[in-house]
Structure 1
Amino acid sequence: MKAISIVLLISIGLALQSCQDSSQTVDERPAIKSVSFVGIPTKDVRFDAANSRITVQLPAILKGGLQPIFELTDGASVLDGVMADNTIDLTRFCYCEQSRNSAQEKEITLRIGNKTTTTVYKVDVVATGVLKAQDSNEEFTFSRKTKLLELNLPVENLYTNPNITDLIFTNVATGKGTRINADAACLNTCSSTAPNQLVFKLSSPIESYLTTGTYTIAIANGISFPQRLIVTD
């Protein structure tokens, strides 16, 4: 009986040790304990820790980019997913749908790690409305001899994958409109360093279509921008 008791005690001890090791492994898993974003109300952030997923509803104008504030478990750090300026890159949500059409390409991932392992989180962003021009009286200048027209147009709700295939420039003096397209290909792009700005880079032969003068700017879906384009030689 003593021998059996000793065996049972050893077995129980090993089982308890096994449970402690398992618990310790779970505790050592690097994790996000809480998350918030600068300038975004708490009600617009949903953190599903069990499924490693963060959902954030963006404001119409995202000031300073998407800046997360994490509380992490002891020894954990952010390994990937946050840029050097402490913002999350959202450019995959402001390119054309045609160029970013797979679900995987649109996923934002955060990798949290410690000395032994890593944990991956997914970030979903939700826009609050449709693309809209910001009210601004900024002017753009295009010199025809440069053969490159760059426009950074301030907008609301940029991160909705806008698909813009036509730009319309109307000469203020003559009323003549010039439509620029690229055979139904997307014209717009965006940049992580220019939040809330719809970016267009139009190269030669753009100088052949726009003569000197002042132009209004619009896109084919009906959005007119308050900015003016001044074209010079």
Structure 2
Amino acid sequence: MKCLYTALFALVAAAPGDGQGGAASISGVVADDATGRSLPAVYVMAVAAGGGRGVTKTGGGGEFEIRGLAAGKYSLCVQAEEQSHVDPCAWGFAPVQVTVSEGQRAAGAVVKVAAAAMVRVLVRDEGKLLEQKDAAGRRPELSVGVWGPQGLYYPAAEGGRSGAAAGLPGGAVYWLAVPREVTLKLRVSSQQLKLGDAGGKALTGNASESVFRQASGDAIQKVFEFTVLGRLP
């Protein structure tokens, strides 16, 4: 998530100041859609179809105000730093939309976001092939991600190469926050490494596609396991 938050900080720095003439603003609150609990310290982005945008961070009571906006229609997106909740602008959801005219102060927006489930993918690699670099300094390619609604692909973030936190002698751990009650497909593949399932059986076509759905009552984490069997010729 490091690149995402670096980009958000850049947006904050580049946002127009309060003194910009004719600038509009949108204010409101962000809350958990199930409990109604306000969500502090999450990023709220106002994104216009034409490319205009603004960003801010919620206060202790989940309140926010995005200033310096041009007139237009904005979707309100949310990014939780610990991936605790799902961005309403992703996964095919319908985000809250607010239209502002020049200089308007639009107040009272309520953005409700759903708690996320976490997918964890363990890749066992006792030979530590994932750590070996080629002459150009690149590690072997390994693709881990989820296909969601509307044919969109969401890559999983790597949580570490040692795998020590997951009790692996070698390997890597990948994470992705996903919505509940949505049918998704996890895909794991590589063009350079020979892959197997959790028991070490080679994957057909050197790829795995697992359809899953996290129900509201399921455990917070869903775990998939794979094995690096060697290098491809």
Query: How does the TM-score come out when normalised to structure 1?
Result: 0.26
Query: How does the TM-score come out when normalised to structure 2?
Result: 0.26
